[in-house]
Structure 1
Amino acid sequence: MMHLLFYGLTLSLHLLPLFLCVKFDNPNQMHIHAITILIGDMTPFSYYAVGPTLDVAFKRLQHDYPTTFANMSRTIIHEPGALSCADGAALVPALSDKIYEAVQRYPNSFTVMFSPGCSLEIVALGDFAREWDIPLFASSSSDGALSDKQRYPTVMSFTSSDEVATFVSFQLFLGRYRWRTITLLCDAPSQFQALSTFYMVACRNIKRFLDGSTTTKFLTNKLEFDSVKTLDYATLLSRVQDQSRVQVICAHPRIVRDIMVTAKRLNMTNGDYIFFTFQTTRVPGMTEILWQFLDDNDEAAFDGFQSLISFQNPNPKWELISDILEEAKNNSLDRYNRSVSRNEQLNDLAISGYESVLAFAQVFLELRADINTLTGTSFARRFYNRSFNPCFRNFFINENGMRMNDAVYQRLNVDSGVLEDTWLYDFASSVLREVSPKLAHTWKSKDGPPPDVPQCGYRNDLCATSNTQTLIISGVLVAVAVIICIGLTTALYWKFSNKMSNKSPWWQLHYTDLQPLSNPGPAWIMVRQRLPEAELSVCTNRRLHHGQSVTIEPFYGKCLSVHQILEQATFRNVLYATRFLQHENVNRFVGIATSSSPAYSYMVFDYGARDTLRLLIQNEPIHMDHTLKSSMIWEIVHVLP
């Protein structure tokens, strides 16, 4: 197979560009050679699906411009058998001889190639077109690789499923709602044949486009699955629940419905998640996005579709091309011996082929006077950066030869039960605008569109952590506040109590409560002071106060009344300080007692086993040497604060 490819390429180098640079005396009579290449039997790219519509396009071209296109020949190369895009691409090298023979058939003609092949086929055919310098009009391929004009200088993409402008609009849409974290659910639906390539390529290009964004940083996750083998989508959706709130489904409409039914059962359609699906325009084998299948899942599907946004490029205005569709249908029956259903008639890839022929005719008519000076590459460049305006749909070819289209976003109208246009991206102005403000502002959640990242995290674990931390901090603050309040209250109470105690006669004792000991024993000592003899009989040192042994000491020469003590603040403070003085060498102060006859005041202390310091000093048998005095001084100092 490969030796045929190199053989064709080798021969082509000798014929560059003989068939494009020949002088013609009459440009109106120039011979045009249109080669149409149809590979495989894949609906909707097949010979039978697109061929009849291309026939109608060339027939009308010659009818509308009889002078310019009267001398035009067509060569149709059909290679049957391939049922997938990959199989069709594998057949391209084997067709190199046939294609090269067709090119040689009219060496002095202006030769162009048309092909409705899928992306993989056009990528291979584009290399031949470059080597032979022949314009190639691809009506079904939108692969971004074709925008590489170093490798594909003569290739122009006319497919109505434009991924470039559509993905630009998708980025604008995500930016409008500040969505940055995206999960792509990519199906490889082998049961849908040619459509499987569309979804795989679209999913790959969406990720590449978002990852390559220079204006916004997106985090994209990609999960691939095969709907042929996947019977339950719960496992798939359970994985994405912890990844993102925005899910993009690249799958057949039937699979999209199954996924949305499962999402409803997993409670993912309550407004916390938003689902997108990117779809191609209308082609055979592709149904509309429908929730109603008249089965047991209709109710769940209806609820799930309220969280779904479908986006795609606009279909042509079918009502304006009904005559083209009918003529192609009749041509299919007459020439191809094949009847066409209504669903097969609505093939936008066939209409894209029709549009590519119209665009070729428009540019050729503009350049026909100078066509003999143009190469295939320079002719292709005349399509760049210009608009084409058929009555049924406008489109634009950008600076890389890629078709650019508007994009429409649809949502379910719960009243009508159908998906309706809600937002429209206008490529010419690069503006995404609301078509239906009511639907655009209708969200399942009362809080509006879901946030990019949930406030509590995808697993609701961030709020738990935050609440715990908040509770701990709050608890600590409350505890500290309570402790401070208790401390302040205690301090204020203590201060107030002290103040009140200091001013109250807490120290007042009744002299009658001081009972003399019945058997004082050796501790009974008379106070030898200069007191009246009558007083000496009562001024014994030791007493009982409420059953407790106490010691009394007289105020020398004074009998103090309660009023006199309360008026002396300094003395009162000394008494209060003495009240709380606690030490083993200091007898605790109990209070002051006043006798009426004779009138005398006494200070009352707890009785100490070692008696008092004064009595110790006055005890004459004890010798007060230097060591004893020093020890007594240190003990006194130790008591002081």
Structure 2
Amino acid sequence: MKLSTVDCLFAHSLLMIYQFRSIWTQTNTPVSTRPSRELTMCYMLERNGVGTIYDYNKAAAAMDMALDYATNNILPSHVRLAGRYRDIGNVCSARTHIVGHALDLKDEGVSCAVYIGPGCGLVAEVLNNIAEVWDIPIIGCPAAGVGLSASMQDYYGISRTSFAYTTIADVMLRYFVTFNYTTPVFLLDQSADFFQQMGILIETTLKDNDDEVPYRPSNYYQFSSSTIDRQAMAKMLRSTTEFSRVVVICSTSDTVRKVMIVAGQLGMAAGDYVFLAVDLYQSNVWGEFTWRRGTKDDEAAKAAFPALLLLSLQVSVVDQSEAFWREVIKLSRNRYNYTFSAVEQNIVDPIVVHFYETILLYAQVITAMDAAEKNYLSGRKFTDTVANFSFVSPITGIVAFNKNSDRLLDYTIRQYNAESQAHEVIMAVPATSKGVTLLGNIRWFGAKAFPANAPFCGFKNENPACRPQPLRLTSWQMAAAVIIPIVVAITLAVFLRPRLKRLLYGDLHNFWWRIYENDVTVILGGLRAATSKSLKSTLNGSIHTVNRLQSSADRPHNYSTFDAGSIFSVSSSGKTIQSKTKKAKQ
């Protein structure tokens, strides 16, 4: 199509205006007049640690990737970041000479704008002493044990980008409150630093919340998994049944499995008791929480595992997490000559992700403070800015912090499913909520609820409802209790009196004819004997005479003992019995 002259002039005018606008925009865009500044992040991290979840070997590549991302996507043009690593050892101890490491860096001319690490909370507490003097911020990852020596509020220069033992204790507290468990028992393994520190801070946290769950020092049992045998373990478990139905086990998966087997043998894994262990995520540090070990006691462990709940981190990832993890594995091997194990390569390590986000946090905060013209080199001001701060991570999404500059993380509570033979999420514990969210219905050994806080009659039969109650009678019952025995007594007296009389006096009636000597008066002919003695004398004399005469040859033929017709009378008790003598034989 052919354009007219007017159309051509109009188009030319528009082109001139667009070119002028572009030139004006370029020449009038404000250019930062602030001097360029390079900030050194001092990585104060453990390396080659045994039994630790934090290791610079694993985190180094991720922090390099975060530094590149921050430079290209977050930081203002006049601010640059650089990293400087300092190996502080391979153990979690307050005696790692962390202050000496900080002094050495200063002597070498390194001006640390921030300390990244340590991973150990005890070491972070010591480093905080000198960081406060120099007013340098600390971003611990995880530094979960901070708070062992003093309240967390006293460490105003420390921020944390991973989990903390205090938040784990808070999750437990919410579970106890939700289901009204007031007497939980804690079995604290002293053989592993991770669980030893966890146990201390759990006890401290619950002690500070005594108004919600009463604090009892006797509820905390310390043991060593390296030395305890099953007999001692059984004794420990039996003692817990005297006052609790909830047992929290702070130890590795192997030890938890042993405890559950012993609990099953004691009859404690049948639904009357709840066992809770901490399995934050899959890690070689505490092992896999499963009953399978390929040993003869697998079936015993399998039978007891339904009574075990697991507290875990809710790992939040986005679509970029797999690509991120592949890049971490590749860069670790190529740049740092570190190779993740076959199992580790298939699982994204949350702590490595948190180290990545530690660098992003620092970049986000100093960018925000720089825009507000605040002094981001001040440790106190930096930490105050982190409080209630949030940003978006390309790996996990929203990263938020609480008023103590601790990261807000969601947790879950998982229950064993016999069908899948694995623990599955049944409760969510959101960081922004004070309660527990049930995900479906509770199924607990055939019931729809967890066991009650105590048996109905109490642990020591202290419930008054279970004690023998005194008998309380009504007025009618009391009247009947008096009248009925009287009626029964009268009835028995009437009907049993003849029987009793015959029983007592029956033998006497058999001898009714018997006359006692003292009661007899004899009248013999005209001779009267007043007593039985005179009767005896008279009769004996007569009989003697008769006998003597009968033995004599000259006895008269007409002799008889008594004259014929003589009267023989005996008087007894006012009655007289008379007998007339018969005629004697001639």
Give the TM-score normalised by the residue count of structure 2. Answer: 0.69
The separation in 2 between residues aligned to 1:400 and 1:371, in whole angstroms, is: 23
Q: Secondary structure at the match of 1:85?
A: coil
Contact 1:309–1:409 (CA<8 Å) still a contact in 2? yes
- 1:158 alignment counterpart: 161
- Residues 339 and 457 of structure 1, relative CA distance in 2, 3 Å threshold: same
Contact 1:35–1:112 (CA<8 Å) still a contact in 2? yes
- Residues 27 and 65 of structure 1, relative CA distance in 2, 3 Å threshold: farther
* CA shift for structure 1 position 59: 2.9
The separation in 1 between residues aligned to 2:432 and 2:467, in whole angstroms, is: 53
Q: CA offsets per residue over residues 321-357 of structure 1, 9 Å max, x none?
A: 1222222212221222221114445432222111111
Q: Secondary structure at the match of 1:156?
A: strand
The separation in 1 between residues aligned to 2:183 and 2:476, in whole angstroms, is: 40
Matched, 1:336 2:343: no
- 2:388 alignment counterpart: 385
The one of 219, 223, 228 equivalent to 1:230 is 228
- 2:351 alignment counterpart: 349
* CA shift for structure 1 position 446: 4.4
- 2:57 alignment counterpart: 48
Matched, 1:35 2:35: no
Q: Secondary structure at the match of 1:124?
A: helix
Equivalent pairs counted in the alignment come to 455
Q: CA offsets per residue over residues 225-253 of structure 1, 9 Å max, x none?
A: 11111131323212222231110111112
Letter in 2 for 1:200: Q
Contact 1:187–1:199 (CA<8 Å) still a contact in 2? yes
- 1:426 alignment counterpart: 430
- Residues 478 and 93 of structure 1, relative CA distance in 2, 3 Å threshold: farther
Letter in 2 for 1:432: V
* CA shift for structure 1 position 488: 6.1
Letter in 2 for 1:76: Y
The separation in 2 between residues aligned to 1:400 and 1:26, in whole angstroms, is: 35
* CA shift for structure 1 position 466: 7.6
Q: CA offsets per residue over residues 6-30 of structure 1, 9 Å max, x none?
A: xxxxxxxxxxxxxxxxxx9744732
Q: Secondary structure at the match of 1:175?
A: helix
- Residues 462 and 399 of structure 1, relative CA distance in 2, 3 Å threshold: closer
The one of 94, 101, 105 equivalent to 1:95 is 101
The separation in 1 between residues aligned to 2:379 and 2:131, in whole angstroms, is: 9
- Give unmatched runs, 5+ long, in structure 1: 1-23, 190-195, 498-608, 610-641
* Pairing 1:414-453 to 2, within 5 Å after superposition: 414-435=418-439, 437-438=440-441, 441-444=442-445, 446=447, 448-453=449-454
- 2:110 alignment counterpart: 105
The separation in 2 between residues aligned to 1:270 and 1:150, in whole angstroms, is: 43
The separation in 2 between residues aligned to 1:486 and 1:382, in whole angstroms, is: 88
* CA shift for structure 1 position 181: 0.8
The separation in 1 between residues aligned to 2:317 and 2:54, in whole angstroms, is: 21
* Pairing 1:100-139 to 2, within 5 Å after superposition: 100-101=106-107, 104-106=109-111, 111-139=113-141
Contact 1:284–1:347 (CA<8 Å) still a contact in 2? no
- Residues 79 and 428 of structure 1, relative CA distance in 2, 3 Å threshold: closer
Q: Secondary structure at the match of 1:90?
A: coil
Matched, 1:202 2:222: no
Matched, 1:259 2:259: yes
Q: CA offsets per residue over residues 388-440 of structure 1, 9 Å max, x none?
A: 332425442122222222221110112211111111112223342112x23xx
- 1:180 alignment counterpart: 182
The separation in 2 between residues aligned to 1:413 and 1:393, in whole angstroms, is: 30
* Pairing 1:54-69 to 2, within 5 Å after superposition: 54-65=63-74, 68=77
The separation in 2 between residues aligned to 1:329 and 1:139, in whole angstroms, is: 20
Contact 2:318–2:397 (CA<8 Å) still a contact in 1? no
Q: Secondary structure at the match of 2:468?
A: helix
The separation in 2 between residues aligned to 1:240 and 1:45, in whole angstroms, is: 34
Higher mean C-alpha displacement, 335-344 vs 324-333: 335-344
- Residues 216 and 249 of structure 1, relative CA distance in 2, 3 Å threshold: same
Contact 1:182–1:218 (CA<8 Å) still a contact in 2? no
The separation in 2 between residues aligned to 1:474 and 1:125, in whole angstroms, is: 72
Letter in 2 for 1:377: R
Q: CA offsets per residue over residues 574-609 of structure 1, 9 Å max, x none?
A: xxxxxxxxxxxxxxxxxxxxxxxxxxxxxxxxxxx9
Matched, 1:311 2:311: yes
Contact 2:76–2:367 (CA<8 Å) still a contact in 1? no
Letter in 1 for 2:110: R
Higher mean C-alpha displacement, 49-58 vs 262-271: 49-58
* Pairing 1:270-281 to 2, within 5 Å after superposition: 270-281=270-281
Contact 2:75–2:364 (CA<8 Å) still a contact in 1? no
* CA shift for structure 1 position 217: 4.2
* Pairing 1:280-319 to 2, within 5 Å after superposition: 280-317=280-317
- Residues 308 and 143 of structure 1, relative CA distance in 2, 3 Å threshold: same
Q: Percent identical across equivalent pairs?
A: 20
Q: CA offsets per residue over residues 240-289 of structure 1, 9 Å max, x none?
A: 22231110111112211111111111110111111111233444433332
The separation in 1 between residues aligned to 2:420 and 2:151, in whole angstroms, is: 45
Contact 1:27–1:368 (CA<8 Å) still a contact in 2? no
The separation in 2 between residues aligned to 1:267 and 1:149, in whole angstroms, is: 41
Q: CA offsets per residue over residues 360-415 of structure 1, 9 Å max, x none?
A: 12222222234564423212211111233324254421222222222211101122
* CA shift for structure 1 position 183: 0.7
Contact 1:40–1:79 (CA<8 Å) still a contact in 2? yes
Q: Secondary structure at the match of 1:75?
A: strand
The separation in 2 between residues aligned to 1:211 and 1:315, in whole angstroms, is: 29
Matched, 1:76 2:85: yes
Q: CA offsets per residue over residues 184-237 of structure 1, 9 Å max, x none?
A: 000123xxxxxx222112222222222222542425400011111113132321
- Residues 51 and 140 of structure 1, relative CA distance in 2, 3 Å threshold: same
- 2:325 alignment counterpart: 325
Letter in 1 for 2:115: M
Q: Secondary structure at the match of 1:181?
A: coil
Letter in 2 for 1:100: K
Contact 1:49–1:344 (CA<8 Å) still a contact in 2? no
Q: CA offsets per residue over residues 73-130 of structure 1, 9 Å max, x none?
A: 22111134x3x312x643313313223236x435xxx812211421111111111221
Q: CA offsets per residue over residues 474-494 of structure 1, 9 Å max, x none?
A: 89x999787435246459979
* CA shift for structure 1 position 138: 0.5
Contact 2:37–2:79 (CA<8 Å) still a contact in 1? no
- Residues 249 and 395 of structure 1, relative CA distance in 2, 3 Å threshold: farther
- Residues 467 and 126 of structure 1, relative CA distance in 2, 3 Å threshold: closer
Q: Secondary structure at the match of 1:403?
A: coil
Contact 1:270–1:445 (CA<8 Å) still a contact in 2? no
Pairwise CA RMSD: 3.6
- 1:522 alignment counterpart: none
The separation in 2 between residues aligned to 1:448 and 1:281, in whole angstroms, is: 26
